[in-house]
Structure 1
Amino acid sequence: MTHFSFLSAPPARRFFAPACRGVVVGLFALFSIAASAQVATVSGLESLEAFVKNTKSGRAVFTQVVTSPARDGQTAKTKTSSGSFEFLRPNRFRFVYKKPFEQSIVSDGQTLWLHDVDLNQVTARKLTQVLNGTPAAVIAAAADLKALQADFTLVPQPDRDGLEWVQATPKTKEGQVQNLTVGFRSTGKGSELAVLEILDSFGQRSVMTFTQFEINPALTAAGFQFKPPAGADVIRQ
């Protein structure tokens, strides 16, 4: 697997084994910078709260760039993938990777399914075993900001690239995600998910850029049911 899944940061093609991060001269300058940062960071938290509270379903296409840290004098390597994404609160989501190879990650609310088309293999795990402290918990699971704060330390970030940002650091130390930063775009319909940056415990960084985002499309729970294809090797963990 060459991409971050929505739940972890895999460096190889296997399930959940394989993303994201001067000098002030004078008191007046310090005050000015702090004040402007505070204004920007408040809007980042407000955007996250509005997204979690008001966006009950969503659909988008995405491009994902994963950068592995340089080792042994070698330059950092990047890999790009793309596909589509949709979710329905609570706890239902689907990531479909189309390029460079086909793979689906589907949650029906109880079970998380990973279907690797090339390997003709399906892996199933209970959602409660893998959800906490992951990007999916932030984007598709939490019902409100208070629920998020139970599992994440939320730190608003200054605006950049025309987006409002907030960083979420998992409180659990058992997961593979070190921290994630979410960028939102304000629209007439609400806060739109624009960018998800993930840094994993191996130093691998993933940047997912979402486009054609639809807020509250008509999705149903039945649309997130998954049935393993005939002949597929099914592994339950």
Structure 2
Amino acid sequence: MIMNKPLAVLAMTFAMPLAAFASEGAERLTLMLEPLKTYSADFEQQILDGSGQRLQEASGRIWLSRPGRFRWEVDAPYQQLVVSDGEEVIVYDPDLEQATVRELDHRVTHTPALLLSGSADELTESYTVSRSQRGNAESFTLMPRDPDTLFEELEMTFYGEQLGQLQMTDSTGQRTAIEFNEVEQNSDIADSRFQFEIPEGTDVIRESGQAAR
């Protein structure tokens, strides 16, 4: 599912229990993510077409907490908020005075944020994982096994022990590239960060497709 505003795709993708993995890449990725309990960072996001031309860009901040909770705030060029308490996802557009509420899709191929905030039991069931290293940059390329997915390839790049970049490519060759800065790992994040009270007067669209006010 690709929405007009770029944040919604990513927010609709950190906890990984260690298990027996068939591939060295998957095992190494699990070792990188398994100690990570919380993650917060500023981000710069670009959407590029197949030729590398920039289509959209955005910036903001993210907070992630295992299992399954995340918050993405876009500050520029427009405001947008995506919040998950682990059960539901709220996408709020203040300019449109509209909020969409749906159940969180726990399939990691449909909700890439769960690679960071969800369970990794399904990692090798859902992806083939390859690993490469260049200097202090360690990259993991994930290819979904299920053709019914949001993307054809996802790449995570770590610098030392910190996740620094995330890139997704869809079937048209369009890429969503995100760079993280001011990273904080395993710091305390208040539970209230993953809760959101929809402002009065907002048009609310629930999963049933019925709108309420």
TM-score (norm 2): 0.81
Residue 69 of structure 1 and its aligned partner are, at CA, apart by: 3.1
**Cross-structure match for 1:230:** 200
Superposed, 1:48-67 pairs within 5 Å as 48-67=29-48
Superposed, 1:103-182 pairs within 5 Å as 103-128=80-105, 132-142=109-119, 144=120, 146-156=121-131, 158-160=132-134, 162-182=136-156
Q: 3-state DSSP class of the match of 1:231?
A: coil
Residue 221 of structure 1 and its aligned partner are, at CA, apart by: 3.2
For 1:25-74, what per-residue CA distance to the aligned partner results, in whole angstroms no more than 9, with x for missing partners?
xxxxxxxxxxxxxxxx96x656522332101101100001111235xxxx
Q: 3-state DSSP class of the match of 2:105?
A: helix
Give distance in 1, aligned partners of 2:55 and 2:149. Answer: 23
Give distance in 1, aligned partners of 2:70 and 2:135. Answer: 27
For 1:67-102, what per-residue CA distance to the aligned partner results, in whole angstroms no more than 9, with x for missing partners?
1235xxxx8343221000011100000110111100
Residue 130 of structure 1 and its aligned partner are, at CA, apart by: 6.7
- The reply on whether 1:203 has 2:179 as its aligned counterpart is no
For 1:189-209, what per-residue CA distance to the aligned partner results, in whole angstroms no more than 9, with x for missing partners?
xx2110001101232101100
Letter in structure 1 aligned against 2:147: K
**Runs of 4 or more off by more than 6 Å in structure 1?**
none
Give distance in 1, aligned partners of 2:135 and 2:47. Answer: 20
**Cross-structure match for 2:210:** none
Equivalences, count? 194
Give distance in 1, aligned partners of 2:135 and 2:82. Answer: 29
Determine what percentage of the aligned residue pairs are the same residue. Answer: 29
Give distance in 2, aligned partners of 1:59 and 1:85. Answer: 5
Letter in structure 1 aligned against 2:182: Q
Work out whether residues 109 and 150 of structure 2, in 8 Å CA contact, stay in contact via their aligned partners in 1: no
Q: 3-state DSSP class of the match of 1:5?
A: helix
Structure 1 alignment gaps of length 5 or more: 9-15, 17-40
Letter in structure 2 aligned against 1:68: D
- The reply on whether 1:98 has 2:98 as its aligned counterpart is no
Work out whether residues 71 and 193 of structure 2, in 8 Å CA contact, stay in contact via their aligned partners in 1: no
Task: Classify 1:166/1:87 alpha carbon distance in 2 versus 1 (closer, same or farther; 3 Å).
Answer: same
Residue 129 of structure 1 and its aligned partner are, at CA, apart by: 6.5
After superposition, the CA RMSD in angstroms is: 2.4
Task: Classify 1:77/1:184 alpha carbon distance in 2 versus 1 (closer, same or farther; 3 Å).
Answer: closer
- The reply on whether 1:214 has 2:184 as its aligned counterpart is yes
